[in-house]
Structure 1
Amino acid sequence: MVTISIKNAGKVYDIEVELSDSGKLFKDKIQAVTNIPPERQKILVKGGKVADDVTIESLNIPEGKPVMVLGTPDKGLPSKPVEKQVFLEDLNESSLYKVDNEPSGLVNLGNTCYLNSSLQVMFSISDLKERLDTFAASSGANSASTLTVALKSLFGQMKKKQQNVNPTIFLTLLRSSFPQFAERSDHGFYKQQDAEEAYSQILSTLNSTLKVEDLFRISFKVKSKCLALPDEVQTTSYEDSSKLSCHITISTNFLRDGILSGLKEKIEKFNDTLQSNAEYELSRTITRLPKYLTVQFVRFYWKRDTQKKSKILRKVQFPFELDLSEMLDEDIKQEKVKVRDEIRRVEKDNLELIRDFKKAKTVASNSSAALVNNEEEELKLLSIKSKFQDDLKAALPDLNLETTTENPSSVYQLQAIISHKGASADSGHYQAFVKDPTDFDGDKWWKYNDDKVSVIEKEKIEQLAGGGESDNALILLYKGIGL
């Protein structure tokens, strides 16, 4: 005899079975505890539908992990009393809270949109939240630990999705740790700051406490060539960065162009042979890709006549799926492309399952039972994702996709964006855009305008490419495909 846990409608039940029991007997035992007839049961196990003639042993159910069971109980059975309907206008202010799945916004505390947008993008990073959940400051904690604890508390409030969150404590500690964010105008108001600087400073702090560097670290091989002495042997060095830069010139139309431009540069330095300064060309190739890739549009530059950071407004289009294979060093390129192609194959194999889910979701959303079906949809989504991960593990047995901090392939999917509206980094308005993780197609995105949260479609994201003083993408956060 073995015990299998099943989960239905938020409740977990333990069922005793023998490994030789049939699928039909398993369904009968499920009915005994859930009142769901076998014909209505949807048992989410690897491989899909549970046939009546299969054995429990053949299902390979993971030990200690509840099996999701979908379905509604027999209507002829007693149900709980109908609760009295409460109308919104009958509630007082203290009783109001969000009852849908809308994420929490962040209150603007006076020119703090740069911080709110940065925090919303970081909140979309699941690995970051997991490490924060287990963080505990030691005795004699320093400012970095204190700031990390404050972020843990802030994210804990945001997870509840019940109200807009006030980030006062975190903001106060940030200004204490980094006085640049406490600058005031001549009138005594706090100044607008650069979102990229806030994003980078917070991640730098988290690296000292949570050791998150490897999640974002990009490594390069750098070849240096003296242009005045073309026959001189090139030198090779190595360097790391936490982001890729997209440099924008009058000929930059696409993200790829700007990144490639940033991988090459010319500098002047002393040459021993010439005994004088000479011009060198530096060429970089990527030797390590992180799980999360940050790409910064280099839109701001210092303008001497105005003594301000001015903005390059040129339109630069960016992809929802980014393949960096052409920028990789030859030492890693072949393996990254091989893994990329294997992930593509697994995606193709799961395409029909995803299509069926989306079709069923569309039908359910147009029916009166949409709310009832919500939990089932979430469970189906988890099942599909679980199957996809299981298939990936089988296809890539030498890779631990759950613990890796490196992208095993060359492909990324766009996950979040920080945008800027205006002509100067020290003014204007920052917003965040985050892809809904429950949407397979990436058509649904959340727009965070401080405490105002709304849903927008993918087409609106494409408009963040720029071309004027309206919202321009400033920071793109990509996540490795399949991770």
Structure 2
Amino acid sequence: MNATVQCLKMVPELKKSLVELRPQGSSGLVDSLSEVFRSMQTGSCVPPLLLLGALHRAVPRFAEKGPNGGLCQQDASECWTEMVRLMQSGLPAQNSNKHNSLVEQYMGGRMSVTLQCTESDTEPPLVSEENFLHLSCFIGQETGHMNSGLKAKIKEQISKMSSSLSRDAVYTKTSLIDRLPAYLTVQFVRFYYKEREAVNAKILKDVKFPLQFDAWELCTPRLQALIEPTRAKFKEIEDQRTQDALEGKDKPKPSKGVEPMEVDKDLEAQPYSFTDDPGSNNSGYYELQAVLTHRGRSSSSGHYVAWVKGDSPDTWYKCDDDVVSPVTDKEILKLSGGGDWHVAYMLLYGPKVLKVPKKPAEEPMSEN
């Protein structure tokens, strides 16, 4: 639970909404989360007893106890899912009439799903929409990178009843994203049920993940056309930086400890959402904000830890309950698996923000 809260805190809009939430005087999870987030503003350790009690009341199975009388270890992805679900019904959307909740607005995406019968040339395709709050990265024998795990689910073969053939037939299911959320959650499907031991065993396979993620290949042609203008602006800025570097005009990279505002004082951040859809991502570009890891061999044992991005370049923080220590990008990338070290289980990506040079202020006209 602690690791999940530390990761979700990396969504600024979610954090702000919870901090500013007017207490309802209830013992519900959203009220308890609000109190925890307000207390965390002080930078001191926050005993999560009230939040734990609220979670147990909202999701009774999380209160199950083992033979020794202690609480059973719970799957962090289930805790993440339940917390997000409860916040979905407790936090209203902001400045949007397209969404019912803040969670749906900033963390929810929409998938366009097409089913095409491969055994009939006359049967029209079935097109539907599915909402999602996270993407699943399935780990197969050939999966060595998060991108390939996500792309593997774009096209798959399924069997279903065909209305035109009046029998089961093979269909090609194509799933593409038609709405990207500002904050994209990716779950590595690392656990599977092992009948002999009756445990959710862990897949330790090394699966790399990027600090910067481009969702372009996962999108529908419609969405690709919508995000192309912002992507072109990103390319324009990068091309200019390359040109400046070749001409010796590039600025030195900021060193550790330099505040971002000092580095970016000549740059102006541009909106990362579409004007008519606040909470969306208008470029398809993401930057990793948080990693929730698991160390152990099954979901019911081991230890969960949160790793969250800091404000300075190449600075992260390992949040192991109440012990917080600084780490680097390199150490984050070592969380890809392959052994008994901490292994990435849930990833939280935030929008890559386009920053352009500020326009010089116009000088006031002198009166003659």
TM-score interval for Structure 1 and Structure 2 normalised by the shorter chain: 0.7 to 0.9
- Give the structure-2-normalised TM-score: 0.85
Q: In the alignment, what sits opposite 1:451?
A: 322
> What is the alpha-carbon distance in structure 2 between the residues aligned to residue 434 and residue 470 of structure 1?
17
Secondary structure at the aligned position of 2:341 is classed as coil
Give 1:261's aligned amino acid.
A
Pick from 177, 186, 206 the counterpart of residue 315 of structure 1.
Answer: 206
Pick from 363, 377, 382 the counterpart of residue 261 of structure 2.
Answer: 382
Q: 1:130 to 1:386 in 2, by over 3 A?
A: farther
Q: In the alignment, what sits opposite 1:178?
A: 59
Secondary structure at the aligned position of 2:57 is classed as helix
Residue 296, structure 1, aligned to residue 177, structure 2: no
Q: What's the offset of the Cα at 1:344? A: 4.2
Q: In the alignment, what sits opposite 2:15?
A: 129
Q: In the alignment, what sits opposite 2:312?
A: 439
Pick from 292, 297, 307 the counterpart of residue 418 of structure 1.
Answer: 292
Pick from 324, 332, 346 the counterpart of residue 215 of structure 2.
Answer: 324
Q: In the alignment, what sits opposite 1:255?
A: 146
Q: In the alignment, what sits opposite 2:109?
A: 218
> What is the alpha-carbon distance in structure 2 between the residues aligned to residue 347 and residue 155 of structure 1?
37
> What is the alpha-carbon distance in structure 1 between the residues aligned to residue 274 and residue 136 of structure 2?
29
Q: What's the offset of the Cα at 1:238? A: 1.2
Pick from 144, 163, 169 the counterpart of residue 278 of structure 1.
Answer: 169
Secondary structure at the aligned position of 2:268 is classed as helix
Whether the 8 Å CA contact 2:293–2:342 is kept in 1: the answer is yes
Q: In the alignment, what sits opposite 1:149?
A: 31
Pairwise CA RMSD: 2.5
> What is the alpha-carbon distance in structure 2 between the residues aligned to residue 126 and residue 207 of structure 1?
16
Whether the 8 Å CA contact 1:346–1:388 is kept in 2: the answer is no
Higher helix proportion: 1
Secondary structure at the aligned position of 2:152 is classed as helix
Residue 158, structure 1, aligned to residue 40, structure 2: yes
Q: What's the offset of the Cα at 1:266? A: 3.0
Q: In the alignment, what sits opposite 1:228?
A: 119
Q: What's the offset of the Cα at 1:383? A: 5.6
What does 1:23-422 align with in structure 2 at a 5 Å threshold? 115-138=1-24, 146-161=28-43, 163-210=44-91, 211-212=101-102, 213-229=104-120, 231-346=122-237, 355=251, 358=254, 378=259, 381-382=260-261, 384-385=263-264, 387-390=266-269, 392=270, 399-400=274-275, 404-422=278-296
> What is the alpha-carbon distance in structure 2 between the residues aligned to residue 476 and residue 312 of structure 1?
17
Worse-superposed segment, 427-436 or 266-275:
266-275
Q: What's the offset of the Cα at 1:231? A: 5.0
Which has the higher relative contact order, 1 or 2, with Cα contacts under 8 A spaced 6 or more apart?
A: 2
Name stretches of at least 5 consecutive residues in structure 1 with no aligned partner: 1-114, 366-376
Secondary structure at the aligned position of 1:221 is classed as strand
For residues 433-455 of structure 1, give each alpha carbon's deviation from its aligned partner in whole angstroms, at most 9, with x where no partner exists.
Answer: 1110x213xx1110011111101
Q: 1:449 to 1:138 in 2, by over 3 A?
A: closer
> What is the alpha-carbon distance in structure 1 between the residues aligned to residue 196 and residue 219 of structure 2?
40
> What is the alpha-carbon distance in structure 2 between the residues aligned to residue 449 and residue 350 of structure 1?
38
Whether the 8 Å CA contact 2:123–2:164 is kept in 1: the answer is no
Residue 467, structure 1, aligned to residue 338, structure 2: yes
> What is the alpha-carbon distance in structure 2 between the residues aligned to residue 404 and residue 457 of structure 1?
32
Name stretches of at least 5 consecutive residues in structure 2 with no aligned partner: 92-100, 355-368
- Give the structure-1-normalised TM-score: 0.65
For residues 212-247 of structure 1, give each alpha carbon's deviation from its aligned partner in whole angstroms, at most 9, with x where no partner exists.
Answer: 211111111111022333553222111111111101
Q: 1:191 to 1:222 in 2, by over 3 A?
A: same
Q: In the alignment, what sits opposite 1:92?
A: none
Q: What's the offset of the Cα at 1:347? A: 6.2
Whether the 8 Å CA contact 1:287–1:329 is kept in 2: the answer is yes
Give 2:282's aligned amino acid.
P
Q: 1:148 to 1:277 in 2, by over 3 A?
A: same
> What is the alpha-carbon distance in structure 1 between the residues aligned to residue 316 and residue 262 of structure 2?
22
Instruction: Give the fraction of aligned pairs with identical amino acids, expressed as a percent.
Output: 31
Worse-superposed segment, 196-205 or 267-276:
267-276
> What is the alpha-carbon distance in structure 1 between the residues aligned to residue 67 and residue 162 of structure 2?
48
